Chains A and B, each alone.
Chain A
Amino acid sequence: GNSVTQMEGPVTLSEEAFLTINCTYTATGYPSLFWYVQYPGEGLQLLLKATKADDKGSNKGFEATYRKETTSFHLEKGSVQVSDSAVYFCALSLGRGNEKLTFGTGTRLTIIP
């Protein structure tokens, strides 16, 4: 079946540190890949996405590259801020009439000043 495996948390970093949250997937076919973020007290919102191999999604200083050869979509940011503290979810969708999102378990990120 289709699944997403995420780096387990929680992750605590100092402000301005480099961030990597690992995500690997298993899927039949060619999925689209997503990172969603949930800030404290708020709903899930799309952070970035990539729809085919070698695509790079980016938003708010975050980046992730769709690597088909390693079935990965790792999230990176060069310099994190306190406001990046949130729970991050990696997800995939097969599309083509099967648009449901399959999520990882989430990674809680805390940035300390």
Chain B
Amino acid sequence: EAGVAQSPRYKIIEKRQSVAFWCNPISGHATLYWYQQILGQGPKLLIQFQNNGVVDDSQLPKDRFSAERLKGVDSTLKIQPAKLEDSAVYLCASSLGLADTDTQYFGPGTRLTVL
């Protein structure tokens, strides 16, 4: 079974530029998560989708971050404009979405460096 796919794996941009990350979850997984992991910290949820609807985006900085999952499958996370403090690893995870104890499966992450 293929795992969660993310691209690109690495991205370096200047501050105030825009960037987009892509995630393709495990086939059949209804729930998709984006987490931000700053160096030395644990991952923090940015947004959770159930199919193509948003369940939780309370910690998404909506003035600069946006995310979509239009067809309920793959998802894109965008940052516009980027700030230095956005340097982090962006993790995508997915789960079946059938039970509240479903295992979340993580992708390899996208490491973003903002200069």
A-to-B contact residues, CB < 8 Å: 4, 32, 36, 42-46, 49, 51, 89, 91, 93, 95-106
Residue pairs across A and B with Cβ atoms less than 8 A apart, 16 shown, are A4-B42, A43-B108, A44-B43, A44-B93, A51-B101, A95-B100, A97-B55, A98-B56, A98-B100, A99-B31, A99-B95, A99-B102, A101-B45, A101-B104, A103-B42, A105-B42
B-to-A contact residues, CB < 8 Å: 3-4, 31, 33, 35, 40-45, 48, 55-56, 91, 93, 95, 100-109
Q: Knowing A43-B109, A97-B55, A100-B56 are in contact, say whether A105-B40 is a contact too (CB < 8 A).
A: yes
Q: Top 3 A-B pairs ranked by shortest CB distance? A: A103-B42, A95-B100, A44-B106
Our pick among B3, B40, B41, B103 for the contact of A46 (Cβ within 8 Å) is B103
Q: Knowing A43-B107, A45-B106 are in contact, say whether A100-B48 is a contact too (CB < 8 A).
A: yes
A62 to B4, CA, bound (A): 25
A32 to B45, CA, bound (A): 17
A87 to B56, CA, bound (A): 27
Instruction: Please indicate the chain B residues that have their CB under 8 angstroms from the CB of A96 in the complex.
Output: 100
Our pick among A49, A89, A100 for the contact of B42 (Cβ within 8 Å) is A89
A46 to B4, CA, bound (A): 14
Instruction: Please indicate the chain B residues that have their CB under 8 angstroms from the CB of A98 in the complex.
Output: 56, 100
Cβ contact within 8 Å between B107 and A99: no
